[in-house]
Structure 1
Amino acid sequence: MSRRTRRVLPLLLTAVLALGLSGCGNDDAASDSDSSSGGGLDSVTIGGDFGKAPEITWDGQMEADEVTAKVISEGDGEEVAEGDAVLTNIWVGNGYTQEQAFSTYDEGGKPQIITVTPQGASEVFIKGLEGQKIGSRIAVAASAEVAFGPQGNPNIGVANKDTVLFVLDLMEKVPTEPEGKAQPAPSWAPKVEETDGDVTGLDMSSAPKPDGELKSAVLIEGTGPKVEKGQTITVNYLGQTYTGDKPFDESYTSSPASFAIGVGQVVPGWDKTLVGQRVGSRVILAIPPEEGYGKQGQPDAGISGTDTLYFVVDILGAS
């Protein structure tokens, strides 16, 4: 749970949501040409290693009347299909000014989760991800209008008549649920309520009063690698206070979130309990105020300075 905001991680997605992940462009304007065609991509050279910020050399202003995609380097991972969620590093450049507009590689930036559906991603991202292999670096060129909508994206310095270059590093697929062996819940834990496999709330009626201790327990023990300090983890989560009758935040009805763990980006209770857990696990946490929001609480979320926070966290990936 972020110290400064109500949401744990959706705020990390703010910049990408501004990039039009929900599909601002007009599908009719997109090209049906093969993804290997160059188009406006012929006016740029893309270097650097996969997983690191790309090195861009421009050869004049880029033109892109259509959405075109090109494989810069092909990975050897699983092919991305419609409906998959992909942890993706994103670099965006303005083809007119030949300047960087946005990058998840910048300090404080993190890979973003893109769901490959018309509802979850724009045509630009679908063309750049669907059918490609995990581990690949893909370049996509498009007009600002198709990429972002009629206004372009002034928040990142892209006018509506500019062209846009996207460089996408397909890091890993994100599972939709924990995978492992169920474990008995500890006596201090509230009951996890589920509907169709999604966590919907916590039933506190049989949970004892919090004792002020930081607690964690594994409800589903994953078989993946252990989470290490400084890694970016991908999770689904739900948070509720002991006295709350409903969650104050959750990701199950939207999409998983990703963030660095063990480095102070989230409340101390998360950093102290999630490092060392295995990928694929479901963990339940009890976080006293001093390991959460402290005496100030988080009034906007209905959290007081004396509230103990309970979380269910599904650890879906770590990189």
Structure 2
Amino acid sequence: MSRVRSAALSGVLSFSMLGLAACGSGSSDPQEGGESLSSVTIEGDQGSEPKVTFDGRLDGSKDETEVLVEGDGEEVAEGDTVKANWWIGNGFTEKEAQSTWTKDGAPQSVEMSEDILPFLRETVIGNQVGDRVVLLTSAEEAFGEGGRPDIGIGNKDAVLAVVDILGRSETVPPLDGPQGEDKKPAGWAPELVEKDGVITGLDFSTAHKPTGKLIATTLVKGDGAKVKAGQTLTVNYLGQVYDADKPFDESYSGEPAEFPIGVGQVIPGWDERLVGRTVGSRVILEIPPADGYGEQGNEQAGIKGTDTLFFVVDILGAS
């Protein structure tokens, strides 16, 4: 008999300034009056992409979780790094929204930290390696207040998630700083301002004016592994609006930041330009509004919808 339990999702993520770039029109009640989890047919072996058949739109107002395939591996705990694949469906439109099997089916490596998306915490933590877990919930509970409009899930939609827990990974300690081959940065890049060896800002006096394009230049080419979508990055970073006198956010004066990359949890420019880099790299990014916070900007950080953002990022680890 499958292990079945009602979902008790943790609260939605507390997104930092680097949080979700795409937001819906605000929180609202999930769609009610649809079908339950038992109306859905999910076929296929654990480890292969599931075939999902809907029998009417789903009701995401009552969370349901079920272990469809029981594994015999170790139980996953908070802080573990796991390899997993997942399939996400919109329970209102009855269409696939996202599948990590779409490209090459390679497992995603994700650390079970407080910063990961709630649907992953609910389907992975407390379950076992080898499990296939299905979750029916609301968009707000699965992804946060705005849902995921970038993959076709509005903040009122029901969400169906099928997650295969494929293994656990050993965690490699993050680096203390950039490590690799020094490179000459592009001429358009601002210069780093440092105090006692710590980056404190960017100097735009010799930098070009923003081009409206998403571009990057390498200061150190790391000698570590390539960053893959779905991994959790450990980075130090500093962000500054073009021609501003001081940064709007930075981590160099405190602790490095951690967040999943390539899955829509950070601004698009980060997802686009950090995936494929190597651990140990230091890069400078020029990010136009469309790849940053969009026309709405980020009022809390003092960023307008027309501002171009520059970041220096040290990639210290990927797990």
TM-score, length basis structure 2: 0.51
Please give the per-residue CA displacement for 1:6-27, whole angstroms capped at 9, x wherever unaligned: 5226xxxxxxxxxxxxxxxxxx
Q: Tell me the equivalent position of 1:107.
A: 119
TM superposition shift of 1:254:
1.0
TM superposition shift of 1:104:
6.9
Residue 49 (str. 1) matches residue 61 (str. 2):
no
Residue type matched to 1:49 in 2? E
Please give the per-residue CA displacement for 1:114-146, whole angstroms capped at 9, x wherever unaligned: xxxxxxxxxxxxxxxxxxxxxxxxxxxxxxxxx
Q: Tell me the equivalent position of 1:255.
A: 255
2:111, 2:231 within 8 Å by CA — same for their partners in 1? Answer: no
Distance 2:307 2:275 in 1: 23
Q: List aligned pairs for 1:186-197, cutoff 5 A.
A: 186-197=186-197
Please give the per-residue CA displacement for 1:156-185, whole angstroms capped at 9, x wherever unaligned: xxxxxxxxxxxxx98332222010111111
After alignment, is 263-272 or 196-205 more displaced? 196-205
Distance 1:290 1:302 in 2: 17
TM superposition shift of 1:271:
0.5
Residue type matched to 1:107 in 2? F
Distance 1:104 1:204 in 2: 34
TM superposition shift of 1:244:
1.2
Q: Tell me the equivalent position of 1:211.
A: 211
TM-score, length basis structure 1: 0.51
Query: How many aligned positions are there?
Result: 177
Q: Tell me the equivalent position of 1:238.
A: 238
Q: Any stretches of 5+ residues in structure 2 without a counterpart?
A: 1-13, 20-71, 79-109, 123-168
More helix by share: 1
SS in 2 for 1:172: coil
TM superposition shift of 1:195:
2.1
Distance 1:89 1:214 in 2: 31
Percent identical pairs in the alignment equals 52
Q: Moved runs in structure 1, 4+ residues, more than 4 A?
A: 87-90, 102-106
Q: List aligned pairs for 1:86-97, cutoff 5 A.
A: none
1:53, 1:105 within 8 Å by CA — same for their partners in 2? Answer: no
Q: List aligned pairs for 1:76-91, cutoff 5 A.
A: none
Q: Any stretches of 5+ residues in structure 1 without a counterpart?
A: 10-46, 55-86, 91-101, 111-168
Residue type matched to 2:77 in 1? A
1:182, 1:221 within 8 Å by CA — same for their partners in 2? Answer: yes
SS in 2 for 1:290: helix
Q: Tell me the equivalent position of 1:306.
A: 306
